[in-house]
Amino acid sequence: MSSAARRLELPRHEVVALHDGDFALDGGAMFGVVPRVVWERLTPVNPDHTIPLATNPFLFRDGGHRVLVEPGIGRRWSDKERAMFHVDHSGGRDVVESLAAAGVAADEVTHVLMTHGHWDHVGAVCDEEGRPRFPKAEHWIPEVELEAALDPGHLRRASYRREDLQPLVDAGLLKTFRGEHEVLPGLRMVEVGGHSDGVSLVLLEDGGETACFWADVVPTRNHVHLPFIMAYDQNAAKSFAVRREWITRAADEGWWNLLYHDPVAPIGRFVRDAKGRFAFAPLEGAEASA
């Protein structure tokens, strides 16, 4: 039986969807202005009105590099927070265990790319004691995202935790950029904003193919339709403009799309449905998802 694939072969790179913890957020907040009668047909809903979400870090591997895109939600949570957000690391849902299952040790990771500073994206970059978990890697984050994470007065302070990133700063492992940064030939981080001030896309160009990691610009396969913008987004008008520009490009140019929060199908194409709206076509694979 075919199921949604978690692995993609490009000419020079292997792209693997890893696992960190599963969690859940309020369904209404995840779909913004979309009425519940519409979104509840798309996803299971928990009794507390949250919906199940994954954190899928991605591994980009070529002959010489092991790039980790978005470390994960991590394990530094109180029992109360774990219960509130349904944080679940069972079944190998831990970024380091998941990397090991793909044949990569934590100290073999060469680059860690973080699209923005929200806790569900960077919480796994340090361990419970605050030690960096990828000690040999160059870590990159947009400069305005580091500033937001270190500023307790930020408007969206509930989305950032200073302790997620301070240890990396102290260890001299964290580098920042503004606008756009070429990490390696063919691998770029492009700051777009909207969801947060500096949220970035990660673009991998390889042998005429493009793979794009969408962070929270398109968090799940149910967020490809343009008006489906999360209530968490700092600037919804900007998110709409960013999404219209980049989703259109991804669909027109046949990109592979890598989705961080999708619990079912993390890799696929953006296509247009019969009404001309954008939709998601998952990459199918023979293997059951690990």
Is the Cβ of residue 18 or residue 104 nearer to Zn ion in the bound state?
Answer: 18
Tokens 């493009």 belong to which residue? 210
Burial 49-66 (b: 16+ CB within 10 A, else e): ebbbbbbbbbbbbbeeeb
Is residue 216 a contact point for Zn ion (CB under 5 A)? yes
User: Based on CB atoms, which residue is closest to Zn ion, 20 or 94?
Assistant: 20
Q: Which is nearer to Zn ion, 145 or 216 (CB)?
A: 216
Residue 120 near Zn ion by CB under 5 A: yes
Cβ nearer to Zn ion, comparing 187 with 215: 215
Q: Minimum distance between the CB of residue 240 and Zn ion, rounded to whole angstroms?
A: 18
- Residues in binding contact with Zn ion, number by CB under 5 A: 2
CB atoms under 10 Å from CB of 39, counted, come to: 19
Which of the ranges 32-40, 119-127, 248-256, 268-276 carries the binding residues for Zn ion, by CB under 5 A?
A: 119-127
Which has the closest alpha carbon to 135: 101, 167, 177, 99?
167
For Zn ion, which stretch binds (CB under 5 A), given 117-125, 190-198, 220-228, 239-247? 117-125
Residue placing its CB nearer to Zn ion in the complex, 120 or 145: 120
The one segment of 61-69, 212-220, 263-271, 280-288 that binds Zn ion by CB under 5 A: 212-220
Using CB under 5 A, which residues numbered 52 to 91 contact Zn ion? none
CA atoms within 13 A on the CB side of 239: 26
Rounded least distance, CB 120 to Zn ion, Å: 4
The 3-state secondary structure of 67-130 reads EEECCCCCCCCCHHHHHHHCCECCCCCCHHHHHHHCCCCHHHCCEEECCCCCHHHHHHHECCCC
Give first-to-last CA distance, the chain, whole Å: 14
Written as six digits, the tokens of 75 are: 């394990």
Q: Are strands 180-184 and 174-177 parallel, antiparallel or unpaired?
A: unpaired
233 in contact with Zn ion (CB under 5 A): no
Please state the closest distance from residue 233 (CB atom) to Zn ion, in A.
11
Binding site for Zn ion (CB under 5 A): 120, 216
